């Protein structure tokens, strides 16, 4: 994620492509969202490590947002591409172009279905832990 940001900001000047008029804006938006997800993931690690419910809640919100972001991005690209408006088509093409260079922070998670696996595994493990603690106190 940092490599793409540093190359774009400090070195590489991208040529203007009329088919992707909002490429840099989408790149920065996708990188900002990736960075926010990274920060929330790091913040949620501390309460999760201490087996607190707040950690589970933050992780559920994070992975739920990542799934929503993935599907919303795909849906908007398809909807905008099928539109008759040239502005919407330009936005869709810019989103598609920026996904390859600006969405690298979450790309590996989507390829491995990590948000889905993490949501299921964390909730199952937390509920099993709750049952074990209840049985231990009885």
- The predicted-structure confidence for 20-32, as pLDDT tens digits, reads as follows 888 888 888 888 8
Residue 105 counted as domain residue? yes
Residue 77 counted as domain residue? yes
When divided into structural domains, the chain yields a total of: 1
| Residue 26, burial from CB neighbour count under 10 angstroms (0-12, 13-18, 19+) | buried
Q: Quick one: CA dihedral 17, 22, 26, 29, positive or negative?
A: positive
Residue 12 counted as domain residue? no
pLDDT over 60 (residue 13): no
Q: How confident is the model at residue 60 (pLDDT cuts 50, 70, 90)?
A: very high
Question: How many other C-beta atoms can be found within 10 angstroms of the C-beta atom of residue 92?
Answer: 22
* CB 109, CB 66: distance < 8 Å: yes
Q: How confident is the model at residue 51 (pLDDT cuts 50, 70, 90)?
A: confident
Measured between alpha carbons, how far is 110 from 76 in angstroms, rounded to an integer? 17
> In the prediction, which pLDDT does 138 show?
64
> In the prediction, which pLDDT does 15 show?
60
Measured between alpha carbons, how far is 135 from 138 in angstroms, rounded to an integer? 5
Residue 110 counted as domain residue? yes
* CB 29, CB 20: distance < 8 Å: no
The boundaries of the domain holding residue 27 are 22-127
pLDDT over 70 (residue 16): no
């Amino acid at each position: 994620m940092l490599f793409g940001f540093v190359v774009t900001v400090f070195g590489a000047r991208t040529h203007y492509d009329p088919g992707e008029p909002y490429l840099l804006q989408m790149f920065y938006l996708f990188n900002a969202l990736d960075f926010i997800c990274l920060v929330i993931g790091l913040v949620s690690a501390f309460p999760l490590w201490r087996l607190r419910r707040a950690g589970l809640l933050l992780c559920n919100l994070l992975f739920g947002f990542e799934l929503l972001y993935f599907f919303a991005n795909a849906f908007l690209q398809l909807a905008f591409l099928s539109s008759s408006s040239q502005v919407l088509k330009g936005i869709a093409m810019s989103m598609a172009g920026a996904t390859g260079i600006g969405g690298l922070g979450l790309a590996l998670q989507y390829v491995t279905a990590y948000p889905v696996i993490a949501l299921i595994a964390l909730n199952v493990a937390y509920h099993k832990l709750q049952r074990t603690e209840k049985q231990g106190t009885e």
